[in-house]
Amino acid sequence: MQVVSYLSRFEKVCAYINQHLEQPLRLSELCELAHLSEFHFHRQFSALTGMPLRQYIRLQRMHKAAFYLMYRNHSVQRISEMIGFENAESFSRAFKQQYAQSPTDYRKHANTVPVSVQKLRFTSQITEHKMQVEITELPSLTLAVIEHQGPQQHLPQSIAKLIQWRKKQGLSPDKSRTFNVFYHDPDDVNPAEYRIDVGVLTDISPEGSELKQKIIPAGRYACLRYMGAWHHMRSAVEYLYGEWLTESAEELADFPCFCERINLYPETPEHQLITDIYLPLA
């Protein structure tokens, strides 16, 4: 029980850090959240995250900056302010030290956004039992999608194309829902053959663009609402296919697993990201 207690405290600490990256983070405030002295705080934080506090904060800031550079049109100066740097020069030096290229060069040439900072090492022990599945009826859903095929690390290029198209159409995430359709498990397919659709719910025809129109068929679906970083979502998908499906009396329909991104990073902190995962049922 003691491990869970400390994990709960440090989950709050990490959440606070991620929500206040634009502000000075005072050690005294973090220690108060964890109910620990400074000496014990540093040792416990490193034990649970695998890195010192300063490194964790720096990596979180750089990771968020990378997303802003690749997927948003903010200036380098504005991004530096949004992640807590005093000026663009100090931010640019830190970013180049982390990624071996300037923010401007990263925006022009990056093929992938680095994986975010490792979450608490034992978080899964206290979250795996919170998964609840509901069976729901969905109407037919019309999507405009980018069909991505190729290594998963090149996926940001496809996402950027979708973002550019939806901006031209005025389909901001708060006005149009965002979906992913998963054709493969990236760990069980040749990287060159990996396929995923990234799309937006709309009746606007994507004719004349790189996008295609696709339909998610109406029907029964098992839905699991997952909260947390996307790169940890695999455990939720495995739960659906493993424990839930094998214990249910359901049969799968002939359509891929897909998800709806209810909110998006970096506007929403990673630990607060909400994703609805759907399995089609016969």
End-to-end Cα spacing for the chain: 41
Give, in order, the Cα–Cα distances in Å from 71 to each of 35, 65, 181. 38, 10, 20
Contacts of 168 (CB under 8 A, 6+ apart): none
Contact 33, 20 (CB under 8 A): no
Q: Domain 131-281 in CATH: superfamily?
A: Regulatory factor, effector binding domain (3.20.80.10)
Note the pLDDT of residue 107. 87
Q: Start-end ranges of CATH 3.20.80.10 in the chain?
A: 131-281
Along the 282 residues of the chain, how does pLDDT read in single tens digits?
Answer: 344 466 778 888 888 998 899 888 999 999 999 888 876 788 788 877 878 888 899 988 998 999 898 888 899 999 999 999 989 999 999 999 988 889 999 988 776 666 555 555 544 333 444 578 999 999 999 999 999 999 988 898 899 899 999 999 999 988 899 999 999 888 778 999 999 999 999 999 999 999 999 999 999 999 999 988 887 788 888 888 888 988 898 899 999 999 999 999 888 888 789 999 999 999
Cα-Cα-Cα-Cα dihedral of 223, 229, 234, 237, to 10°? 0
Q: Start-end ranges of CATH 1.10.10.60 in the chain?
A: 2-109
Q: Choose among 181, 279, 177, 273: nearest CA to 228.
A: 273
Q: Is 43 exposed, middle or buried (0-12, 13-18, 19+ CB in 10 A)?
A: exposed
Three-state secondary-structure class, residue 172? coil
Q: Choose among 228, 169, 159: nearest CA to 202.
A: 169
- Look at domain 2-109 and name its CATH class: mainly alpha
Is the pTM above the cut of 0.85?
Answer: no
